[in-house]
Structure 1
Amino acid sequence: MTSKSTIFVAPRKCTLERDSGPALHIAEWGSTSPRVTIILAHGLALSHGSWEDVAQLVVTADPTVRVLAYDHRGHGQSQSAPASLELLADDLAAVISAYAPVGPIVLGGHSMGGMTLMALAERDNMVLEARVVGVAFVATGAGDILGRLMRRGFWSWLVSLALTVAPLLVIPSRPLLIVRQLTRAVLFGYRPFRHDLNRAVGQLASSNPRSVAQLTRSILSHDRYSALDRFDCRVVVFAGSRDLLTPVYHARAIHRRVPKSGLVIFPNSGHFLPYERRGEIAAHLLGLTMPMAYSDSDVA
């Protein structure tokens, strides 16, 4: 589905308070006694709101499923704290322990969220082996993020400069034309909806610039190809043909290294697949909750 969702299912909101980490804001849709819980992790400088359309579609199609989406530390309504992919993996483990302590789980990660799933596999494989029945990697990569640019001196210098000044930047919550156009160019593919652009900019504005800069540094050193063989479950890998941040070759590299995976490449789509391809993503997530398998070939 490529149009705006006409369905609205108000999520239940809660906060995970912890002694050893920042409080995390969590949204929950669907059954309170689910057959499967889907847990969704969002991308850099976004929020759980990036998954809201997908979550609504999933629980409308199958009310026996529960969907959890949460704000990473320093994002959305979660507290700020020192941030890295390793710490995000610890946060995800805490969410699972607190809100899905029993029963089968499907994990979905968009961009940095997918990298968080890989970091979790690297740090705590017991959860994957015991309870995770499916994984969706959405517009993400296992390493060498922006590698082709970073190997060029000018772009490496420019990224370093951007990371230096990023903590000082403030993004307006009411999107100016230039902010909307930059968001469109970087995050979206062909002809995105204005509503989606405005929501994306609103999420960018709610993220903590210092946390975003710290996580960007962590993402640039992210190399977890060796962790991919730990995903011994059904996996589907998504990519947009116009994605500038994690181009299709990242998805193909993950697909090659995960035996039980399917690969879905969306033509004319960019990086923000949970908005651009909300219907297809929701359908595949539901598929991962069912006793069915993806082939090891590309899925168009």
Structure 2
Amino acid sequence: MAFLRLTKRSKRNHGLASVPATPPRGEEHFSTKRTVGKNTYFLTGPEDSAVTVVFVHGFTLAATQWQYQTEEIAHRARCLLPDFRGHGQTPQYPVAECSVDGAADDVYAAITDANITGPIILVGHSLGGMVSFNLLRRYPKLRKQIRGMVLIATAIESFSGKGTPQLLKLPVADDIRNAMEISPEEAQKLRSEFAALIAPTLGVTMFKNSGMSPAVKLHAQLLNSTPIETYVGFLDDLEKHDELAAAQAVADIPAVVIVGDKDDVTPLAQAEKICELMPHAALQVIPQAGHMLPLENPAVVNKAIAHFIAQ
């Protein structure tokens, strides 16, 4: 990990990169849209690339969260971006099927459908990091294709009692859990109420840069379009799910683990635990940065991905 000038499991604070001047765009930014089953995924970048970067988005997010990455990385490598179940352009799933296991199945299905047989760089943000661990634990044949992982503001231990579940434990969330039999109109009203309550907190909880209003708006839009079943299923799963059993599967994989020092969702201790279990991981702590690093601090994320592409 020479580009970081870090020893194994060491850390260094890095200065804030410039916030992008242009707001994130829609999925039309990606060159190809495909479906596998009822799931949607996107492809962009050169088809003859020697390496594919697989981007795994976070909870209530979607492939569109990676636009600042693909704008740069797609010039260097093929990019595959799944919208896993109940997110983005993939429709809602039953509550019982909204889980980390299910999301990992969706990512694997996209990789298989796109016929990605060469080297892979696996990039996961927040829930997407835990999904990435699950993917390599449950699909061991994929492991030999992985050349590196970029793990951003994520966890390998349970989120219980902190992070995302704590942030989303509002009274209306209990209403959502009990809303499975209500009409679509009432469901939309609840979802809108939920988004209206939580969206104002995104700027201070998820983002730590006052200039991030376009990215905050994108996150709020994605949050508001998330099906109720997705909230209920994934929140319940996240409160108890961990991927500590994936430690053996990822122990020898080179990785960059990136966390903001102001991240109130997946704090530094979570990143340090990942590095403890991944001896070939380097830890980057970004000062004055929050949870939404792909949008808030894209240059740091892009540099880590570019390092593995260059290898």
Q: TM-score, normalised by structure 1?
A: 0.84
Partner of 1:254: 274
Secondary structure of the corresponding residue to residue 259 of structure 2: strand
Map 1:60-209; keep pairs closer than 5 Å.
Answer: 63-81=75-93, 82-128=97-143, 130-147=144-161, 159=169, 163-166=173-176, 168=187, 169-171=190-192, 180-209=199-228
Query: What's the CA shift string for 1:133-184, capped at 9, x where partnerless?
Result: 011111010113143589xxxx79x9395543235432389x97x6542111
Q: Which amino acid aligns with 1:142?
A: I
Number of aligned residue pairs: 276
Taking a change above 3 Å as real, the CA distance of residues 209 and 4 of structure 1, as seen in their structure-2 partners, is same
Distance (whole Å) between structure 2 residues aligned to residue 76 and residue 230 of structure 1: 29
Taking a change above 3 Å as real, the CA distance of residues 134 and 120 of structure 1, as seen in their structure-2 partners, is same
Runs of at least 5 residues in structure 2 that lack an aligned partner in the other structure: 1-16, 178-186
The alpha carbon displacement at 1:120 in A equals: 1.1
The alpha carbon displacement at 1:79 in A equals: 1.8
Partner of 2:18: 2
After the TM superposition, which of the residue ranges 40-49 and 93-102 deviates more from structure 2? 93-102
Taking a change above 3 Å as real, the CA distance of residues 192 and 144 of structure 1, as seen in their structure-2 partners, is farther
Secondary structure of the corresponding residue to residue 200 of structure 1: helix
Taking a change above 3 Å as real, the CA distance of residues 225 and 181 of structure 1, as seen in their structure-2 partners, is same
Query: What's the CA shift string for 1:83-118, capped at 9, x where partnerless?
Result: 110111111111111114311000111001001011
After the TM superposition, which of the residue ranges 184-193 and 231-240 deviates more from structure 2? 184-193
Distance (whole Å) between structure 1 residues aligned to residue 299 and residue 44 of structure 2: 16
In 1, are the aligned partners of 2:32 and 2:44 still within 8 Å (CA)?
A: no
The alpha carbon displacement at 1:185 in A equals: 2.4
The alpha carbon displacement at 1:3 in A equals: 2.1
Distance (whole Å) between structure 2 residues aligned to residue 73 and residue 260 of structure 1: 31
In 2, are the aligned partners of 1:37 and 1:100 still within 8 Å (CA)?
A: no
The alpha carbon displacement at 1:131 in A equals: 0.5
Distance (whole Å) between structure 2 residues aligned to residue 160 and residue 119 of structure 1: 28
After the TM superposition, which of the residue ranges 248-257 and 3-12 deviates more from structure 2? 3-12
Secondary structure of the corresponding residue to residue 236 of structure 1: strand
Distance (whole Å) between structure 2 residues aligned to residue 27 and residue 172 of structure 1: 30
Q: Which amino acid aligns with 1:287?
A: H
Runs of at least 5 residues in structure 1 that lack an aligned partner in the other structure: 292-300
In 2, are the aligned partners of 1:27 and 1:68 still within 8 Å (CA)?
A: yes
In 2, are the aligned partners of 1:125 and 1:230 still within 8 Å (CA)?
A: yes
Structural RMSD (CA): 2.6
Secondary structure of the corresponding residue to residue 45 of structure 1: coil
In 2, are the aligned partners of 1:189 and 1:242 still within 8 Å (CA)?
A: yes
After the TM superposition, which of the residue ranges 63-72 and 108-117 deviates more from structure 2? 63-72
Q: Identity of aligned pairs, percent?
A: 23
In 2, are the aligned partners of 1:15 and 1:26 still within 8 Å (CA)?
A: yes
Distance (whole Å) between structure 1 residues aligned to residue 193 and residue 112 of structure 2: 36
Matched, 1:227 2:241: no
In 2, are the aligned partners of 1:239 and 1:271 still within 8 Å (CA)?
A: yes
Secondary structure of the corresponding residue to residue 121 of structure 2: strand
Distance (whole Å) between structure 2 residues aligned to residue 26 and residue 148 of structure 1: 30
In 2, are the aligned partners of 1:57 and 1:279 still within 8 Å (CA)?
A: no
The alpha carbon displacement at 1:17 in A equals: 2.7
Q: Which amino acid aligns with 1:144?
A: S
Secondary structure of the corresponding residue to residue 33 of structure 1: coil
Partner of 1:296: none
The alpha carbon displacement at 1:2 in A equals: 2.5
